[in-house]
Structure 1
């Protein structure tokens, strides 16, 4: 009887974590996982440019900066395409473009050609994200949407963790394998979406509604506030790859020890996130975001007291728990606040909130490190965590009123 009860509870846990989502979403989930399993080039791009192509540190830095500029432009274009084309066509097309760009970068040999290809790779890297985010909003019922976004986040982390390990092994056998397999997984993702997913009819703005797009999104104070908090959160989070390795190096720890500590981030996410998402559904989304943002800030703040590998690993576990709470909810709220005909562009702005950290995080982290000292970045993270806590709580009332008004309009229209 005890064994049967235990099995029943386990089945219920898995049903709560994975049930209630349409088949088309799971095709998308598999595609995201396959695509991230092939993320081989990005972690090793700087090493590839300096070793395989023999470029100087200055040339490599310039190419990486131009690549980063492409990463900022890509979501803006992707959001426009997601709303003008069908989500399916926009997502599949962006994956084909990403595959071609990856092949082009692998074949480029001159600095000019490599720079141009690097920009296109950056442009296409996140071109699919607005269409992907909008597709979830189109396919998944509102009650399950935050969990669906969280599961995509889980797939991204699982795939990237495996790719980071496999990429090092492949790089030793030739960088051509990295580019070829990365391009192949992009194509697989695109083909899965194009042939196996049928999205609902593309939402269009009604004739009696004002025009929707980037301008209307940027005039929406709730959306702008959510995205501003996303920028702050992503700037804090990216310190894990900017100042955390520098801090560990200052305490005499090796790159391998940093890799082992940061690997815990993926392990904790893979083990906990799907089940934590079910538990979080008991609470108000913005309350979850407020507490999770504070935990992220405190987790990074604890780094100021870490000196050993185990201490650093402990801080990684703490801020990863906060990261799990942040996953899915902000993106789901943005999808709710967006007019259906502009979901792609609203998702693009959300993606930009994360992409901007590629520029802001290194500047903020290294500046605080140089001016305040070793504890500077981590003090800044705690302050940022407090701002995330207060900011999300302040948004709770206005966002809930907007959601209730939208739900009442939906009910009235249906009646």
Structure 2
């Protein structure tokens, strides 16, 4: 006699539903991001400590960005070829060495080379960490797990901004030294407490990157990711300049932007669990639409209060996208290629973010309304593209 078992209405919830190695990785991300104090203050360091002109500081930041762009694909390939734990651990060791090198470098050429190496290593943990989550966490729980990693990243970032400001007052060597030490701690935590999770059979034969670049559903997701990156990165590139033209003070701008971190810390956990019940393609499209609406509404901003309202809107969309996008990428990846797919997705976001200052600089002189309405249209097009790719994505991730 057959026994009928009830079909669960949603994925199990609570900390116990996720495996212990995931929580160890989560703790390592919190530690790493709490000590990530150099990157937010790097441009200030280049101008005030190294004495570079704005043009030279911009060139160094470009070298850092190029390294960061390449790091996603390189780390993704290493993750699938040699394993998640070795890639993450060695990446953090290399990050620590690059931090020390950048802190000790003098002269434009030496600083630019060190900045490139730091960019090449500092984000290398992301593809490895995302692949670990895909290996360790069952598919129904991945959206929640990636949301938790995003929450950990923002919690650590909030602490890093406060700590970095204080350490900067004690000299650049303290700032670089603490960041390098924290990278070593992250490497030690993963090496000692997180088991290797790469499938025993390893990646399939043939060029790994070519497999991802020929995957049409994946390419559709990457196109959406690039558009989203171009839109979202405006918050840290064009938005400060635009608000200065609107006579919003730096202090008020900082308070409005702080709302982003507060809302993520407060809302990310309950919202991610609730979103796991719904179709991820529609959730991703909805989140992108909300982000687009938030930036489009910036065309109406005239003071700090209205700026805070728009920040709250696009933060709500960011919370929705944060756990959904990597879970879709993880389910699209064939066995053994989780790292490569995560790396390609990360590179897509970084490419869009790299174009953000150029797009903002071209549109800002035209006026705030054309700028923000155009960027809102880019986000709306990304949301529409998500829905158009929905059928093929669902077939692959079912």
Maintained 8 Å contact 2:80/2:202: no
Q: Spell out, residue by residue over 1:25-44, the C-alpha distance to the aligned partner (whole angstroms, 9 max, x if none).
A: 01110111111111111111
Counterparts of 1:242 and 1:403 in 2: how far apart (Å)? Answer: 35
The residue number in structure 1 matching 2:129 is 132
Structure 2 residue ranges without an equivalent (≥5): 1-11
Q: Spell out, residue by residue over 1:102-128, the C-alpha distance to the aligned partner (whole angstroms, 9 max, x if none).
A: 011001112221111111001001112
The residue number in structure 1 matching 2:167 is 170
Give SS of 1:327's match: helix
The residue number in structure 1 matching 2:8 is none
| Correspondent of 2:390 among 386, 393, 396 | 396
Counterparts of 2:239 and 2:16 in 1: how far apart (Å)? Answer: 37
Counterparts of 2:320 and 2:166 in 1: how far apart (Å)? Answer: 33
Counterparts of 1:164 and 1:71 in 2: how far apart (Å)? Answer: 20
Q: TM-score, normalised by structure 1?
A: 0.90
Maintained 8 Å contact 2:81/2:202: no
| Alpha-carbon shift at residue 276 of structure 1 (Å) | 0.1
| Alpha-carbon shift at residue 200 of structure 1 (Å) | 3.2
Maintained 8 Å contact 2:230/2:356: yes
Structure 1 residue ranges without an equivalent (≥5): 1-14, 405-415
The residue number in structure 1 matching 2:38 is 41
The residue number in structure 2 matching 1:278 is 273
Maintained 8 Å contact 2:132/2:198: no
Q: Spell out, residue by residue over 1:135-182, the C-alpha distance to the aligned partner (whole angstroms, 9 max, x if none).
A: 111111111011111111111111112211221111111111110111
Q: How many residues align?
A: 387
The residue number in structure 1 matching 2:372 is 378
Q: CA RMSD in A?
A: 1.4
Counterparts of 2:165 and 2:327 in 1: how far apart (Å)? Answer: 35
The residue number in structure 2 matching 1:184 is 181
The residue number in structure 2 matching 1:322 is 317
Give SS of 2:286's match: helix
| Alpha-carbon shift at residue 204 of structure 1 (Å) | 2.9
The residue number in structure 2 matching 1:103 is 100
Counterparts of 2:200 and 2:375 in 1: how far apart (Å)? Answer: 40
Counterparts of 2:280 and 2:207 in 1: how far apart (Å)? Answer: 26
| Correspondent of 2:154 among 150, 157, 160 | 157
Maintained 8 Å contact 1:17/1:274: no
Maintained 8 Å contact 1:212/1:339: no
Alpha carbons of structure 1 residues 214 and 392: separation in structure 2 relative to 1, 3 Å: same
**Deviating more after overlay: 131-140 vs 377-386:** 377-386
Counterparts of 1:389 and 1:359 in 2: how far apart (Å)? Answer: 20
| Alpha-carbon shift at residue 17 of structure 1 (Å) | 4.9
| Alpha-carbon shift at residue 19 of structure 1 (Å) | 3.6
The residue number in structure 1 matching 2:220 is 225
Counterparts of 2:377 and 2:151 in 1: how far apart (Å)? Answer: 27
Maintained 8 Å contact 1:73/1:123: yes
Q: Spell out, residue by residue over 1:317-346, the C-alpha distance to the aligned partner (whole angstroms, 9 max, x if none).
A: 011000000012111111111112111111
Maintained 8 Å contact 2:75/2:339: yes
| Alpha-carbon shift at residue 60 of structure 1 (Å) | 1.1
Q: Spell out, residue by residue over 1:351-406, the C-alpha distance to the aligned partner (whole angstroms, 9 max, x if none).
A: 11221133211011121112x312122102221222122111112222112223xx
The residue number in structure 2 matching 1:5 is none
Q: Spell out, residue by residue over 1:184-233, the C-alpha distance to the aligned partner (whole angstroms, 9 max, x if none).
A: 11111110000001133534358xx6635110111111000101101111
For 1:237-386, what aligned pairs fall within 5 Å after superposition? Answer: 237-370=232-365, 372-386=366-380
| Correspondent of 2:206 among 203, 207, 211 | 211
Counterparts of 1:331 and 1:266 in 2: how far apart (Å)? Answer: 20
**Deviating more after overlay: 317-326 vs 377-386:** 377-386
Alpha carbons of structure 1 residues 396 and 79: separation in structure 2 relative to 1, 3 Å: same
Counterparts of 2:391 and 2:198 in 1: how far apart (Å)? Answer: 33
